[in-house]
Amino acid sequence: MTATAHQRLESLTQQLSDIAQRYDELTEQRDHAVMVGDDAQADLIADQLEQLERDRKRLAAKVAPLTDAAEKESQAALTKEGQKLAKNADAMLAEIQSVFDECQGYAEKLAAAADKLNMHSAIHWMIVAKDARQKGGKPQFATPRFNPVTLERMANIRNLLDYLNGDLSAKSVQARSND
């Protein structure tokens, strides 16, 4: 498996750190050799220091290209993650829209059922029932009632859908404004 630019950059950084540490050690050894008058040893260490400096320059020349490559790798990884998150967000939004569509269907059925009544339905019933009674009929006078719990649930559902509709609109604007 090929090492990533980020891994190679870490390795290179470690090599440069090792060279710097070795350079400091050899510099101290050379200075000590000079102080004690061991010129041959000082010259040998000076050659090693020159080699280390050449190695450092050779490795340092690789830092910029590897840094650029590592940044591109990071950006590519971010883009890939962003695309994955966008796909998840799109699926979530599609699910929300699906629920909204389902609620829309139920609302249309409910509206169609409620359209069979109007504000004057009770008055019309009363007139017909009174007429029937006056003519000898025996209409039922029980009071039809719609379950108040159902009415409350319908109100809560309406409030939730209304809130989500507004909140999704606001969040959509916020999400776009972060670009």
CA distance 134 to 131: 5
- Letter string b/e over residues 128-158, b meaning 16 or more CB atoms within 10 A of that residue's CB: eeeeeeeeeeeeeeeeeeeeeeeeeeeeeee
Q: What is the pLDDT of residue 179?
A: 59
Q: How far is CA 158 from CA 103, 152, 173, in A?
A: 10, 10, 23
Instruction: For residue range 95-109, list pLDDT tens digits in order.
Output: 989 998 998 899 888
Contacts of 41 (CB under 8 A, 6+ apart): 29, 33
Q: What phi, psi does 140 have (nearest 5°)?
A: -75, 140
Q: Could you tell me if 132 and 139 are in contact, meaning their C-beta atoms sit under 8 angstroms apart?
A: yes
Task: List, as own/partner pairs, every contact residues 102-105 make where C-beta atoms lie below 8 angstroms and the sequence separation is at least 24, other chains included.
Answer: 103/157, 103/161
Q: What is the pLDDT of residue 162?
A: 86
- Statement: the pTM of the whole predicted model exceeds 0.95: no
Of 39-48, 73-82, 168-177, give the lowest mean pLDDT range.
168-177
